[in-house]
A and B are shown apart, each in its own frame.
Chain A
Amino acid sequence: MREKVSYWLIWVFVLSGFLLGIGLFSLWVGPKRIPFSTLISLIFERRISTESSILFDIRLPRIILGFAIGGSLSLAGVILQGMFRNPLVEPYTLGISGGAGLGVSLNIVLRVHQRVGVLSLPLSGFLGALSVVFFLYFLSARRGVLKIHNLLLYGVMISFISSSLIMLIMAVSRVEDLHGIIFWMMGSLEEPNGFLIRLTFILSIVGLVLSYLFSISLNALSVGEEEAFHLGVDVEKTKRFLFLVATLLTGISVSVAGMIGFVGLVVPHFVRIFIGRDHRILLLGSFLCGSSFLILCDTLARTVIAPSELPVGVITGILGGSLFIYALGKRNMVL
């Protein structure tokens, strides 16, 4: 018992160390070179200068957003994979990102954001995601029972339908709108609105805390729904709650940062392979691992071909995918 806890604690320290290191690295690198000593001194005594404004107004918000979104997506991935007991499920499988994409595309094509303001973009994305969540929920909940397999199938279908609708919108939209839609879909952590960043950050932490209320139930669910019933878990309540937590986390992430793929699929697998399958460590481990991973990818995305930027989704896909293949071959483990 004690060994298990200390093993978990060591991992939490290691991952937090990683996160801190990557965060500092991300703060340090960029087109404007800031010596490391200046960086450290600026962290401890906040002077008003060009450098501190670059660090704390431009780079830091991005890091915080990367932390929140990387963490949320990985957390949603762990929850959904645990709930569905299917290693291929990821936050975008259920069509939530499709709904958000549809909301944003409609907003861009109808030029709502030009009239109402830029904040209407994430808002319409979130409304799109939310409507998919409720639609899915009412489709698959019958007589108080949430049918997990139906949920998955409906989700995949909604995903297809919404991506087709997005393509339809793209086909009939003007060139400048088209550019906006594509740019949004590729995903980016560049978000000028400080309030949105704070909100995403707070909600990701809230999601993490809430998911822990059901960590034991998730462990029980990993041996099957019926077995979980026999272990005294209120399976229906657990499924409903976790579904809402995971989909809302996904919806918020997608509406703020667009579709950053792969984080929610690969990070949970990594953590499962290297740390373990117990959800009591898997949830926090994936959150920390996912946030470090996304911050790292974003740092690469904005530095590799500076001063222009690569879409962060490209980096997460290439880096995550190849690391994962490497790890699978090395560990030779069954998922």
Chain B
Amino acid sequence: MLLEVRNLTCGYGAKVILREIDFQLPKGELLGIIGPNGSGKTTLLRAITKVIKPMGGVILFEGRDIKEISYKELARKISIVSQNHETGWMGVEEFVLLGRIPYYRKLQFLERRNDLEIARRWMRLTGTIGLKDRLLGELSGGERQLVHLARALTQEPELLLLDEPTAHLDITHQVAILDLVRKLNKEFGLTVVMVLHDLNLASEYCQRLILINDGRIYREGSPEEVLSYKIVEEVYKTVVVVEKNPITGRPYVFLVPEDKQKRTKRRWEKYMV
């Protein structure tokens, strides 16, 4: 197991956000975490990266309690593209090179040639090499997300965490980012955990989904197992219809507006399993 979360309870101050979370992540998996706003998805990522400490339970990375792993070492093993992008007026290449900080030795002040090569390689792979002399603040949302991904990859992690990598992006960039993530997963064997709001993207791209509701794991399994209309309706308190994507065969969640619910419900009932 690459990552093992055992009976994790955590939160902020006295407020408990996640309760008794238990899951395992084998090497090479592409895991999706879904759930309503405020269910604790981001908190889970924060606990895995040691930004917040567990109130109960343990998180094991490669069998070691992350409590015992220094921040620096952990940053060489786990990297994250988080949601709140503090942009600032930093150059793109300079920003991507920050990803080499975990590899700096004591009293090392300058990056080595090797560091720049690694940063450039991931910038090329994410298609951001052409932006290297631009400032972060000048980029579009999609470009910025790719630059953040390049920085996270420059950390050369074994586990990549993505917190809503497709938020605020158009479908071109949504697909571009997720295709890239899948490629990293397939070709480079990178283990990925991503928090997604879009159930359909989660269904298309992830091998396994964990649905969190109210701080607990509500359901865990393949997209087909998790994204049934019953479960989605229960958790999201919204009427939906689940069909199959005709090309990929993955479940696809349709929303039903309130005024159309009665008619459609009756018509669709016989198809729904």
Contacts and interface: CB of A to CB of B under 8 A. Distances in A.
Interface stretch (B23-31, B83-91, B181-189, B218-226): B83-91
A166 B107 CA distance: 44
A229 B51 CA distance: 7
A279 to B, nearest CB: 10
B80 A230 contact: yes
A227 interface: yes
A230 B162 CA distance: 12
Contacts, number: 68
A5 B109 CA distance: 11
B85 to A, nearest CB: 9
Interface stretch (A38-46, A231-239, A320-328): A231-239
Interface in B40-81: 46, 49-51, 70-76, 79-80
A219 B116 contact: no
A222 B101 contact: no
A226 interface: yes
A216 B75 CA distance: 15
A216 B94 CA distance: 12
B90 A231 contact: no
A305 interface: no
Interface string A201-234: 0000000000011011001101110110111111
B86 A229 contact: no
Contacts of A220: 98, 101
B116 A232 contact: no
A229 B89 contact: no
Interface residues of A, number: 23
Interface in A164-217: 212-213, 215-216
A280 B109 contact: yes
Contact of A223 (B46, B88, B102): B88
A58 B94 CA distance: 46
Contact of B99 (A216, A224, A231): A231
A229 B82 CA distance: 12
A149 to B, nearest CB: 15
B86 A216 contact: no
A245 B70 CA distance: 24
A230 B75 contact: yes
Given A212-B109, A277-B90, A227 B99 contact: no
A231 B98 contact: yes
Contact of A232 (B76, B89, B95, B113): B76
A229 B70 CA distance: 11
A133 B128 CA distance: 45
8 contacts: A1-B110, A1-B116, A230-B79, A230-B82, A231-B75, A232-B72, A277-B90, A280-B110
9 closest residue pairs by CB, A with B: A232-B75, A232-B102, A224-B86, A232-B72, A231-B101, A232-B71, A229-B51, A234-B71, A230-B80
